[in-house]
Structure 1
Amino acid sequence: MTLDKTVGSAAEAVADIPDGASLAVGGFGLCGIPMVLIQALLERRVGDLSVVSNNCGVDDWGLGVLLGAGLIRKMTSSYVGENKEFERQYLSGELELELTPQGTLAEKLRAGGAGIAGFFTQTGVGTQVAEGGLPQKYAADGSIAVASKPKPVQTFTMRGEENEFVLEEAITTDFALVHAMKGDRHGNLVFDKSARNFSPLCAMAGRICIAEVEELVEPGEIDADAVHLPGIFVDRIVEVGPDIEKRIERRTVREGN
């Protein structure tokens, strides 16, 4: 068995992702998104995808390009964001959406990667998150075709106080796609500042994790204490270089600088 997990191209890395696959995709907005891998999926026209990601990019970038091409069947997200097509498809009944509180989504992914089937949290208690009824898919006439189901709620005593907690199930997916600043041939990854966001959690949750990296180095060149995601969670790694296009959702500048 070889520890060298490198593949020659993004197309090769995603070649076995089939129609109907479930994907956990790293990134937050357009920060830290695996755009080269996403484009490789777009070129293959892989469809009927069920995608778990904080949001769905924007209309013409990130996961938005797959959505705009009609290749995503369901999104599990915490934020609809700046994507008008996401909103349109959801409200018209073309797209199923499992809207999940952001921290809960992160923990559901982490739990899946850690082999924990579920966990209790106070987030969502007393709301439709716990009680059910959130519209997940609309019918063409605007009625609710699919609604979220009620979740078990249980009382626990913490810090001397009794409170209700809702049971959330872990998330695992067929594949995970992530972007990192640096990686070695064994799959150890280093992310760039806030671009780390959801990526380690998504990588853990995917049965097969595919990482694109800006810089590929030899094993041992990354200090062990600097590794953000151990290579045990990564199955394939492809070098995409530092000059890939990176977009900003909203550019904010300060006058006088």
Structure 2
Amino acid sequence: MDKVVHSANEAVADIRDGASLAVGGFGLSGVPNVLIDALHRRGTERLSVVSNNCGVDGGGLGLLLAAGRITRVTGSYVGENKEFARQYLSGELELELTPQGTLAERLRAGGAGIPAFFTPAGVGTLVAEGGLAWRYARDGAVATASPPKETREFAGRAHVLEHAITTDFALVRAACGDRHGNLVFAKSSRNFNPLAAMAGRVTIAEVEQLVEPCEIDPDQVHLPGVFVQRVLELTPDQAADKAIEKRTVRG
């Protein structure tokens, strides 16, 4: 039952070229930076990533992106990551844009064993009708477009069929975890982390604080250890290293 690994390198050692990853985080909050750094050092490539966004320039998944290690992204937000936008528009990267709530539910459904579900989000748009540019050619033409999806009416309202997501691995970050893999997330870092963890066949969690089993009140557990296979305890410096995306000053 002790799922603790002793280093980030050990935690990601079996993530091979071509693997699919669900990665927690939203912007710079709750991003498993230590595990991503270890994967970057390992040189793993041709990765398919499922994440709300793909990091920022020079940080998080942005490190793997800049190194050309990611070939496909399923996400909902390009944001201000200029390299992400450049690779997508130049045809170097395939991108499946998905409504944010739909992405969250696709991950949750994958973890819950639900193969697909209907949602009204995206009805009447290219999300349902097909034709979204997944990959561009180098001349700017659409090389690969999204296919049309099944739609069905429920209670007089149209819904589109969305398929669940499961991945080979998941990388997440938690404020606290025990040796059995039970996790607690702090504030907004809860975001996509529990959902990504559910979707991974092998889930690796970096935790800012490691405690012994039974030290976390069961009512306070955000993600039960059944979804987690490996736990990495961060050093105090790693736990405290949290970047700020936009610094504002009150006048």
Please tell me the TM-score bracket, short chain as reference: over 0.9
- In the alignment, structure 2 segments of 5+ residues that lack a partner are none
Secondary structure in 2 matching 1:51: strand
Match of 1:247 among 236, 243, 246: 243
Q: Tell me by how many angstroms 1:81 deviates.
A: 0.8
Distance 1:224 1:243 in 2: 28
Task: Confirm or deny: 8 A CA contact 1:5 1:236 kept in the other structure.
Answer: yes
Deviations 1:36-85 (A, max 9, x none): 00000000010000000000111100100000000000010100011000
- The aligned counterpart of 1:169 is 163
Partners of 1:128 and 1:242 in 2: CA distance: 46
Q: Is 1:234 paired with 2:232?
A: no
Q: By how many angstroms is 1:243 displaced?
A: 2.4
Give runs of ≥4 in structure 1 deviating > 6 Å. none
Distance 1:122 1:65 in 2: 35
> Residue 74 of structure 2: which of 60, 76, 79 is its match?
76
Q: What is the DSSP-based 3-state SS (H/G/I as helix, E as strand, rest coil) of the residue aligned with 2:154?
A: strand
Q: Can you list the C-alpha shifts for 1:75-121, whole angstroms capped at 9, x where unaligned? A: 10100011000000000000000000000000000000000000000
Identity of aligned residues (%): 71
CA contact (8 A) 1:67 1:86 kept: yes
- How far does the alpha carbon of each residue in 1:175-217 deviate from its partner, in whole angstroms, 9 at most, with x for none? 0000001100000001111101000000000000000001111
The offset of 1:23, in angstroms, is 0.1
After superposition, give the CA deviation of every residue in 1:117-153 in whole Å (9 maximum; x if it has no partner). 0000000000000000000000111110000000000
Corresponding residue number in structure 1 for 2:7: 9
Q: TM-score, normalised by structure 1?
A: 0.96
Q: Does residue 194 of the first structure (1) align with residue 188 of the second (2)?
A: yes
Cross-structure match for 1:129? 127
Question: C-alpha separation between the residues in 2 aligned to 1:248 and 1:91?
Answer: 27
Residue of structure 2 equivalent to 1:204: 198
Partner residue of 2:56 out of 55, 58, 63: 58
SS of the residue 1:155 aligns to: strand
- Report the Cα distance in structure 2 between the residues aligned to 1:66 and 1:88, rounded to whole angstroms: 14
Q: In the alignment, which residue of structure 2 is the partner of 1:22?
A: 20
Q: CA RMSD in A?
A: 0.6
- 1:96-175 superposed matches below 5 A: 96-157=94-155, 162-175=156-169
In the superposition, the TM-score normalised over structure 2's length comes to 0.98
Structure 1 residue 246 displacement after superposition: 1.1
Q: SS of the residue aligned with 1:243?
A: helix
One-letter code of the match for 2:211? V
* Other-structure match for 1:49: 47
The one-letter code of the counterpart of 1:249 is: E
Structure 1 unmatched ranges of 5 or more: none
Matched AA of 2:243: R
Q: Secondary structure at the match of 2:249?
A: coil
